[in-house]
Amino acid sequence: MELDARRFPGGTLLEADLCIIGAGPAGIALAVELIGRDLDVLVLESGGLKPDEGIQDLNEGAVIGGPYAGLRQTRYRSAGGAINLWNTPVRGEIGGKYVPLDPRDFDQWSEVPLSGWPFDRAHLEPFYQRAQAVCGLGRFAYEGNEWADGQRPVPTLASDHVTTGVYQFGTARFFTRRNVRELLAASNVRLCHHATVCKLETNGTGRRVIGADGASLQGRGLRVQARIFVLAAGAIENARLLLLSRGRGPEALGNRSDWVGRCFMEHPRDYTLTLIPRSPSLFREARFFDAHRARDGTIIGGRLALQEKTIRSGRLPNASVTLLPREKAPVEVSGAVRRLVARLRRVGRRRSRGGYGWSSIADPADVFDAFRMVVNLEQRPNPENRVILASRRDSLGVARAEVHWRWREEEQAGLERLRTSIARWLDEAGLGRVEVHPGLPPDPNAHHHAGTTRMHSDPRFGVVDANGRVHGTDNLYVAGASVFPTVGFANPTLTIVALALRLADHLIGQ
């Protein structure tokens, strides 16, 4: 059922068994999993069912420290959440990349303070497999050799340091349209849009959330009462709502150990490496790294992955490398090749709508002279990178979020080691020479916010327990990347959905 908070009379009261705050990937996946259950589910979304620019002003907030695009530009209030900002063409639609966290990302490493999840990757694997269908993907397979075929063989890398993995590509409509339609048609789910939650209210002990207060931009107040509440509003907003809400006494809800908002993480991307192929044949041999349709119809694209022993021995951040061909300079090509380039651009536009790119050209070496390398980086948790409440307020009178974030010297040093190592490995593997441009910081704007309500079994070191329940409360849970203790290099959506399905099982069991 659809509800529109803009049409409510002031002081409207809604009641439910379960209230989910936020209709991004976490909230939608959780609600879809509960369709048909003996539960009355209410989903509150601050934005609309379709993009609504008017509501986005609520995302404004300051960023203190390093250069960053800003809080309005890197998140979105609407059904589907930040998926509305995706920009990768997939099957003629807008989509994005999916990949799970590596097993090593769940481990506790002595050299990485605050590392370690309460469970390992094997525990999450069944939920990853279920998440594939929710996201509209193929089978749960992300090693390069699992996708080998005669048309696009997986390159053999003569290196003990790097291996071949894949990304899978999915369309945004699974969360902006298809799953939303399922929720609207469900008899036990109500999706209420244009309903912005401003704070949570607890009982006298602070252990139970007894209500959520919200409003629409039209000033119509809203009150929600539920047996269980789940925050699924993104890493910035989850932390902000906890900081706005009081637990026991003067402390913010869930903040007894001062972890709410801390350890904000992004996925910086480095563009400073260029691979000059040792042989022009590499453009044909590397076709696996271009986005392409596998035999079962799944859209995949190859990537270079780091071996675990290499990360440990080199004190490196986890990372993934994708290869993008660089066109030859116009002065270096003949008229015939220029016509080929023009054709490539036409074909590329046409093919990209179907999930294909540069590898559709018969002889790419006539068009390209190098590969630009995109390195997706892990940022490790640091308590000083954090979300706090600003002095400025939004149009609803609520304190805006303020992010303190820096790319620190030790992180830059790890990136410099990684750049040098990648150049050496690819040279040893016989792929070619890598041009390195040291000293430049990476681009931090992947829109992958994480870590602000970190998961830890011990309340002294985290905000939520292994099930996502806020420490010190009985009925408040958090879903989404804000619970990640560490973030790896991986696009977070697949893990967000897997954790949401895991939380659904837990709540059903309760």
Whether residue 55 has pLDDT greater than 60 = yes
- Of the candidates 476, 412, 410, 456, which has an alpha carbon nearest to the alpha carbon of residue 438? 412
Q: Is residue 318 within 8 Å of 486, Cβ to Cβ?
A: no
**Over 90: is that where the pLDDT of 233 sits?**
yes
3-state secondary structure of 375: strand
pLDDT of residue 349: 40
Please report which confidence band the pLDDT of residue 79 belongs to, taking 50, 70 and 90 as the band edges: very high
119-155 pLDDT per residue, tens: 999 999 999 999 999 999 999 999 999 998 878 889 8
Alpha helices by DSSP H, 160-307 = 173, 179-185, 235-244, 282-285
Q: Given this model, what pLDDT does residue 204 score?
A: 84
Q: How far apart are CA 231 and CA 312, in angstroms?
A: 35
Q: Where are the beta strands (DSSP E) in 71-116?
A: 88-90, 93-98
| pTM score, whole prediction | 0.94
- The pLDDT, as a whole number, for residue 358 is 85
**Cβ atoms of 247 and 474 closer than 8 Å:** no
Position 143 scores a pLDDT of: 96
Q: Which two tokens stand for residue 105?
A: 């990302």
- Contact yes or no for 360/347 (Cβ under 8 A): yes
Q: Could you read off the pLDDT of 5-28 as tens digits, one per residue?
A: 999 998 899 999 999 999 999 999
Tell which residue, 302, 172, 314, 266, has the closest CA to residue 489. 266
pLDDT confidence tier of residue 348, bands split at 50, 70 and 90:
very low
The one-letter amino acid at 202: T
Asked if 450 contacts 235 with a C-beta cutoff of 8 angstroms, the reply is: yes
Q: For the chain, what is the radius of gyration of the CA atoms? A: 23
- Long-range CB contacts for residues 141-150, cutoff 8 Å, separation at least 24: 141/166, 142/99, 142/100, 142/166, 142/167, 142/168, 144/288, 144/302, 147/288, 147/294, 147/300, 149/294, 149/295
- pLDDT bracket for residue 364 (50, 70, 90): confident
- pLDDT over threshold 60, residue 355: no
Q: What is the pLDDT of residue 331?
A: 55
Model pLDDT for residues 392-446, shown as the tens digit of each residue: 999 999 999 999 999 999 999 999 999 999 999 999 888 999 999 989 999 999 9
Give the three-state DSSP class for 20: strand
Q: Which of 33-42, 189-198, 258-267, 304-313 has the lowest mean pLDDT?
A: 304-313
User: How much is the average pLDDT of 496-500?
Assistant: 98
Concatenating the DSSP letter of every residue in 440-491 gives PPPB--S---B-TT-B-SSTTS-SB-TTSBBTT-SSEEE-SGGG-S---SS-
Q: What is the DSSP letter of 205?
A: T
Strands 12-21 and 41-45: parallel
In which band, very low, low, confident or very high, does the pLDDT at 359 lie, cut at 50, 70 and 90? confident
Q: Which long-range contacts (CB under 8 A, 24 or more apart) does 331-336 make?
A: 332/369
How far is it, in rounded angstroms, from Cα 468 to Cα 273? Answer: 39
